[in-house]
Amino acid sequence: MASSGFVLLDKIAGETSFKALFPLKRVFCTKRVGHAGTLDLRASGLIIAATGRATRLLPYIEAKDKCYTFRLHLGYETDTLEWDGEVVCQDDKCVGRESQPCLHGYDRAQHLGLEQSESPKTRDESGEIRHCERSEAISNGNINRADLEAVLPQFIGDIDQVPPSYSAVKINGHRASDLMNRGREIELKPRRIHIESLKVIGEGLVTEGCTGKCFATFDLECNCSKGTYIRSLGRDLARALGTCGCVSMIRRHRIGNVTVDRAVRGEALTPEHLLPVDQVLDFPVVRMNDDQVKAIRLGNWVPWHTPVENLSTTPGTEKFVFVADKNGNVVGLGTYDPGRICPKFFLGDD
């Protein structure tokens, strides 16, 4: 019963993106499955998976912009940049606080007497926690929502971002996380990403299982490009505020124009959840007769003088179109050039 198409999955926190695909193999009786845009183990939300020949379209899904929400914890940093990792940096403002999973905000008056020279601590090579360098400014513990919102513009637009050490970034063919688990020292280079928008949507909530002590939490929403690491964004936001930080509750709500409210949990997946590719990717669809479809299937271009609406207007990019048969079933991906449509690859059944 192997078929080609897309499936919208709502991944739960605690399972890998790879494991999230297992129900597809069972329901659609195929090993040819894949997904676009890996989510961290502890992250949840939208994964767009594909079966059969539709897996060839996944790079076009992965290139789409995305929307995430996440919780920022200020006051400590971990090796994984997640709330439950090994603490490598603890801000002095949190020392001596009551032990709890994570504080509801913080008591401003308790910190008014702190010296501005006090700085967070981080682990040195021996594993001992030491003072780490504080970026400027807010070092008296009075970090509030207005302070966070004041630094957000620094992160809008094209910025350079260093990925987390525990990530799938490849170094000489090996995942950075695998090298870290083997005790190797690594240095990742900054990557250019784009953040379209970043805003605070809540504050002061608790996440269970924090391994360090924080003095404030904020919930944020981020619309960003492919390649953005939310964990790194949380780290950098904290440093811009003059402290250290990590994140929790990462959830992906959107990929391109597809939102998680259309997605299904793996245990509820049925054959009816397989979507035609043109319901997920927004390339324009052109219908062709049998002879034209045959030409596309054989790798030949087809003369085309009918106007095609909704073509990409981005300079320097290919103008992709879906090729459909006379019944409207998508059978291939092509590119539009003035006067003709050229085949990219065939998606129909043999």
Please list the active-site residues: 40
Which spans in 182-316 are helix H? Answer: 230-240, 290-297
Q: Report the DSSP beta bridge partners of residue 93.
A: none
Between strands 44-51 and 66-74, the pairing is unpaired
Element (H, E) at 200: strand 191-203
Sequential DSSP letters for 64-129: S-EEEEEEEEESEEETTSBTTS-EEEE-GGGTTPPP-SS-SS--HHHHTT--TT---EEE-TTS-E
Distance between CA 324 and CA 308 in Å, rounded? Answer: 13
Q: 80 burial class (0-12, 13-18, 19+ CB within 10 angstroms)?
A: buried
Q: Please tell me what DSSP assigns to residue 1.
A: -
Distance between CA 315 and CA 152 in Å, rounded? Answer: 30
CB neighbour list of residue 163: distance below 8 Å, 6 or more residues apart: 169, 176, 188, 191, 229, 232
Q: Residue written as tokens 């006090």?
A: 118
Element (H, E) at 145: helix 145-151
Angle value at C-alpha 43, between 105 and 75, nearest 5 degrees? 30
Q: What are phi and psi of 345, to 5 degrees?
A: -160, 160
Virtual torsion, Cα 214, 218, 222, 226, nearest 10 deg: 10
CB neighbour list of residue 327: distance below 8 Å, 6 or more residues apart: none
Phi-psi region of 229 (alpha: psi -120 to 50; beta: other; left: phi over 0): beta
User: Per the structure block, which two tokens stand in for 116?
Assistant: 């501005």
